[in-house]
Amino acid sequence: MLLAVAVLWALFVAARALLSGRWWVWNGLGLAPPVLHLLLPLVLLIPAALIRYRRRAAVGVVLVSLLLGSWQTGLHPGALLRGQPAVPPDALKVVNWNTFFWDQDSDTDAFYAYLKSHSADVYLLQEYQNARGDEPAPIDELARIRREFPGFHIATEGEFLTLSRFPITSVRALRPDGLAPPDTSWADYWN
């Protein structure tokens, strides 16, 4: 039984490495939390080392899945061994945030204070919108945004908003071909 679980996990890890981002069906299947690629083999290693029947095979399969999955964890052990590198004073600071329907359900002043607290050079913001029932609704907060972020360049496209201390030289929405239009009265929603 343990060997079967170890083999299934090793096959899953190998399939994730080969298919993730390449086959649309795998998008849902490959959502295992990355740290699971480290924890599950370590948990399986204990009983695999203790069993008598097919111990070598079980330990071998678990170690293979640990090796295959370790680079998929997102963990970087080297970062634990050395301190944080110094950030150059001229480094570009980018904030990427899904605002969850802008300030619809929050204190507007606190919302803008939170954004400004990051002191970013570029803000990439999603859900520059509200909701009316189950449907997304466009908003126009540009006057307030200009007051809160003087000197920033602004670009909006659908539900996306970019604020930049640097000039924005081009704005282009990526529109997928062959998809049905969004089920909303806001035609630019999915742009």
12 — phi, psi (to 5°)? -60, -45
Do residue 89 and residue 64 come from a single domain? no
Which range marks the domain in which residue 29 is found?
2-70
* 164: Cβ contacts below 8 Å, ≥ 6 apart: 121, 122, 123, 152, 153, 154, 155
In a domain, 181, yes or no: yes
- Residue 71's pLDDT is 73
In a domain, 76, yes or no: no
61 — phi, psi (to 5°)? -65, -40
Domain boundary pick from 70, 97, 121: 70
In a domain, 80, yes or no: no
Do residue 121 and residue 191 come from a single domain? yes
Do residue 135 and residue 171 come from a single domain? yes
* 10: Cβ contacts below 8 Å, ≥ 6 apart: 61, 62, 64, 65, 68
Q: ∠7-13-18 over CA atoms, to 5°?
A: 125
Q: Total structural domains in the chain? A: 2
* C-alpha of 143 from chain center: 30
Domain boundary pick from 70, 99, 114: 70
CB contact at 8 A, 36 and 12: no
138 — phi, psi (to 5°)? -65, 155
Do residue 102 and residue 172 come from a single domain? yes
In a domain, 77, yes or no: no
Do residue 138 and residue 65 come from a single domain? no
Q: Per-residue confidence of the chain (191 residues) as pLDDT tens digits?
A: 767 777 887 888 888 878 877 777 777 766 777 777 778 788 877 777 777 777 777 778 878 877 777 777 777 777 777 777 788 989 999 999 999 999 888 899 999 999 999 999 999 999 999 988 888 889 999 999 999 999 999 999 889 999 999 999 998 877 767 777 667 777 777 65
